Structures are given as C-alpha cells and as structure tokens.
Amino acid sequence: MPSFDTIIRGGTVATAADTFACDIGIRDGLIAALGRDLGDADRVIDATGLLVLPGGIDSHVHFAQPSGPGIVMADGFESGTRSAAFGGNTTVLPFCVQQKGQTLREALKAYHAEAHGQCYVDVSFHLVIADPTDQVLGQELPALVEDGYTSFKVFMTYEGMALSDMEMLQVMSVARRTGALVMIHAENFDAIRFLVDKLEREGHVAPRYHAVSRPIPVEREATHRAISLAELVDVPIMIVHVSNGEAMEEIRRAQAKGLKVYGETCPQYLVLTEKDLEGLNMEGAKYVCSPPPRDKDSQEACWRGLETGVFSVFSSDHCPFRYDDPAGKLNPKSRTSFRWVPNGIPGVAARLPILFSEGVSKGRIDLNRFVALSATNHAKTYGLYPRKGTIAIGSDADIAIWDPERRRTLTHDLLKDGSDYTPYEGIEITGWPVVTMVRGRIVVQDGELVGEKGFGAYLAREKSPYAAPRREF
C-alpha cells in the first residue's frame, strides 16, 4: 500500500518563516511528511518550478449578507467559496450579522443554514454585534465565544449598526473577559451624516461624492477613538480595512506604545484611487466601498504598513454586488444619490494575485511576508493556527501551488464570483495559483473547478493568543 494519498514533489515550499526545497507527503487530509524520497503515493503532483504555499486565508469576506430592502448580495456560500478557491484560498471568514432586535443565536441559525452543504473551501464565522443588549453581552456572547465564535466586528458608522462609545466599551469588556478579538470598522458616523446631508443639499449626488463624504479625517478620528477606548479597557483590537497613512500612523503609534492593536488593509487601497469613482454615468458605483479608495500617497502608505508589519493581515473585504442589476449597484434609488449605492466591491479571488504580483513580483515584499499576510497571520490572529495557515507536519493539507511566472490580465471571467464585474479589470498580473487544495483534496486545478460542493467544512475556532489582554491595567 502506498505510504501517502498524495505527494507534492519537486516544488519550492515557503512558510511565513522559511523557503526550502522539499516534497510534501499527505495522508488523511493532513500533512504527514516533509522531506525527500518520500516513497510512493496514490497521486504525485509534479511541482517542479512552482511555489508550494499555505492556502490563502481570507479573514474578511461577506457572503449572503442581508443588505437592506431590495438589495441582494451577489455571492452566497457556493459562488463565494468557489471564487475564493480560484484565487488560491482554502479558508474564508465571513460575517454573521445580528440585526437589531435579533438574538445572536437566531442570526447564527439562519447563517449556518445558508452555508450548509454549499462550500468548496473551509469557512468560519465572525459575529457582527449590532444590538448589544444586556442579554447579548451577559449571556449569549460569552457562551458563543466558548462555542468557537472567537471574534466579532463592531461598526462605528451606519444607521442601525453604529455603536455608541458606551456600547463599544461594553462589547470590548466582554471580549477582554472572554478572550475574543474585537474587529472595528472605524469611521465617524456623525461626520459622515453631516457631510452626506451637505453634499446632497448642494446637488452633489454622483457616485464620486461617496469618497468626498468620508474623507481621511473621518477614518483617522474613529481609528484614534477606537484605540483609545481599547486602551481604557486593556483589550486587543483589529482595525479592519485601513485605507490611508493617517489611520495607519494611529495604529503604528499604538503598537509602538506596546498596545495590542492590529491592522488590516485590502487590495482596493493598494491599486485603486478615488479617481476610479469618477467614471462616466454610474460607472463610479463599481468602486463604492467604505472606507473609499484614496490617492497615490495613501497607496504608498498602505504598502509601507504591509512592508513594516503595521498591517499584519491583508484581506479582500469581498462584499459583492452586481453592477447592472436593480438589486445591486444600479438599484432604482442609486441614481438619486450615492447614499443608496450599496457599499462594497468583490475581490476574494483577486486579493492574492494582486498581492503576489504587486508585492512579490515587483520586489516590495518577500515570499515569506506574502505567506504571513495571506495566510499565517490570519490563522494566528483568529484562532486557527497551526491547524491552518502553515505547512507543517500535522497541519491540514491546505495548499496553494503558484506559478510565479504565469502572466494573466485580470478580467471578471477569471474570478468566478457571482458579480458581473471586477473593479480590478485590466490589471496585469505576474504569478498565479494553479492548484488549490483543501485538506488534501484538489478544488481548483489549472483554471478548472474539480472540487465538490459541500466538502468545505465549518470550523469552530480557538481563542487566539493575539486576543489575550496585556494585563497591565
């Protein structure tokens, strides 16, 4: 009997720490051996000339999320996890959103039903806390953290979602007590409301004014406030989707003080700018997301944050709506004001090719930092390590094989999501994932979907050491 189910032979393996030539023996979905001359296997994959990396973990995606009256998100779990696999990802973490008046358990029941039997890659859920009642804070949330929902997002903006500073402090206190990680959408709600009203009164309603309504100080102020509140409670936080240098500097300063403040940035802040929102007619709606893409200096600042480690995770913030669709970007109200254009852009499949091409191929980051930013740090931050996020004996055989020389021009048809466009159309890419393998099973090979819907599993997560308080308070 062969010793392994699969051997990946002849490739260059990279982890967040090292790059080395080695074969990988896989048995029962796990990495069982690393070495040379591993013997025989049912299947041998020749990886000569290729990079063998941990499968991508995208810790910030939105699938099947209720998005307001008449608006439908373009991806559920089937198309969302399919697209993820085409982009070299083996695990994704979408958000289970609590609506006002809803219990977390009700929200979770509905969200698990959406995911059940639909996934091509593994998934785990963050919670979004929109209604932090005494019952939620005192009973539901602590129990759910013990059940493996070990991270939750809070919003500082959006009608029906924004928490007051008091509520933020209450949620942070529960996180500190239970060992969960709080993710924060940092934009100042009142400042945005003020600016949106003003712009609309002046007749500035085109999609481009979305960016004008939430300029950098809106994000910088909220980032500073979130960090200050977390410092008061002595709780680690993750500031998600950071778009510019001023917000990044707030995080860097906090880190220099020794606070456990983590930062995330996303592809839209590296390769798009607010100019993209200026397209003719409603074309700019394709780029409406929050925070909005900024300018070239902001792009450079975000690269600096990735290069220096201020940002430890790079996620897509995949939040897809179809463009030419009355349930999407071109809904009937969106022409009357940017206020009604659904917020979010697709990117789960484009994330890693963009980071590889713009980062590794162009020499901005090395391969090990690519692995850290694309997989390992996500696993460590969100309680999946070392089961996920690395290539080590005993870890799940979640592997992406990359051809570092393969050239592609990004077009929507390559990405296999449920939207009808990509905001990254036309970007030239060098480096492409040619095989995506989840727990030893190939899901995508050379642009073909060969995985089985439903093979992707739900993952309960551990508490992460990254979420442990400093205990200096």
Chain residues in the site for Zn ion (CB under 5 A): 185, 317
What would the two tokens of residue 427 be?
Answer: 């970007």
Q: Which does 418 bind (CB under 5 to 8 A by kind): ligand DUC, Zn ion, none?
A: none
Query: Contact with ligand DUC (CB under 6 A): which of 290, 315, 422, 464?
Result: 290
Q: Which is nearer to Zn ion, 24 or 239 (CB)?
A: 239
Distance of CA 367 to the CA centre of its chain: 19
To ligand DUC, the closest distance from the beta carbon of 74 in angstroms equals 13
> How far is Cα 259 from Cα 257, in angstroms, rounded to an integer?
6
Binding-site size for ligand DUC (CB under 6 A) equals 9
Distance of CA 264 to the CA centre of its chain: 9
Query: Contact with ligand DUC (CB under 6 A): which of 162, 272, 313, 319?
Result: 319
Q: Which is nearer to ligand DUC, 23 or 58 (CB)?
A: 58
Q: Is residue 329 within the footprint of ligand DUC (CB under 6 A)?
A: no
Distance of CA 376 to the CA centre of its chain: 13
Query: Coil, strand, or helix at residue 57?
Result: strand
Q: Is residue 380 within the footprint of ligand DUC (CB under 6 A)?
A: no
Distance of CA 227 to the CA centre of its chain: 21
DSSP H or E segment with residue 35: strand 30-35
Q: Is residue 317 within the footprint of ligand DUC (CB under 6 A)?
A: yes
Footprint of ligand DUC on 414-473 (CB under 6 A): none
Which residues are 91's β-sheet partners? 57, 122
To ligand DUC, the closest distance from the beta carbon of 253 in angstroms equals 23
To Zn ion, the closest distance from the beta carbon of 153 in angstroms equals 7
Query: Contact with ligand DUC (CB under 6 A): which of 25, 88, 263, 344?
Result: 344
Measured at the alpha carbon of residue 397, what is the angle toward residues 395 and 402, in degrees to the nearest 5?
125
What would the two tokens of residue 99 be?
Answer: 């609506």
To Zn ion, the closest distance from the beta carbon of 372 in angstroms equals 21
Q: Which is nearer to ligand DUC, 317 or 417 (CB)?
A: 317
Q: Which residues contact 230 (CB under 8 A, 6 or more apart)?
A: 172, 182, 236, 237, 259, 261
> How far is Cα 121 from Cα 80, in angstroms, rounded to an integer?
9
Neighbours of 37 (CB within 10 A): 6
To ligand DUC, the closest distance from the beta carbon of 158 in angstroms equals 7
Q: Which is nearer to ligand DUC, 62 or 369 (CB)?
A: 62
Q: Are 372 and 63 in contact (CB under 8 A)?
A: no
Q: Which is nearer to ligand DUC, 158 or 455 (CB)?
A: 158
Q: Which is nearer to ligand DUC, 218 or 240 (CB)?
A: 240
Q: Which does 343 bind (CB under 5 to 8 A by kind): Zn ion, ligand DUC, none?
A: ligand DUC
> How far is Cα 307 from Cα 56, in angstroms, rounded to an integer?
18
To ligand DUC, the closest distance from the beta carbon of 275 in angstroms equals 20
To ligand DUC, the closest distance from the beta carbon of 404 in angstroms equals 30
Q: Are 408 and 379 in contact (CB under 8 A)?
A: no
To ligand DUC, the closest distance from the beta carbon of 119 in angstroms equals 20
Q: Which residues contact 240 (CB under 8 A, 6 or more apart)?
A: 60, 153, 183, 184, 185, 264, 315, 317
Q: Which is nearer to ligand DUC, 32 or 181 (CB)?
A: 181
> How far is Cα 81 from Cα 116, in angstroms, rounded to an integer?
12
Q: Which is nearer to ligand DUC, 344 or 389 (CB)?
A: 344
DSSP letter assigned to residue 325:
S
> How far is Cα 63 from Cα 419, in angstroms, rounded to an integer?
12
Q: Which is nearer to Zn ion, 155 or 370 (CB)?
A: 155
- Residue found under tokens 């850290």: 372
Query: Contact with ligand DUC (CB under 6 A): which of 99, 102, 343, 445?
Result: 343
Residue at shortest CB range from ligand DUC: 319
Residues that bind ligand DUC (CB under 6 A): 62, 185, 240-241, 290, 317, 319, 343-344
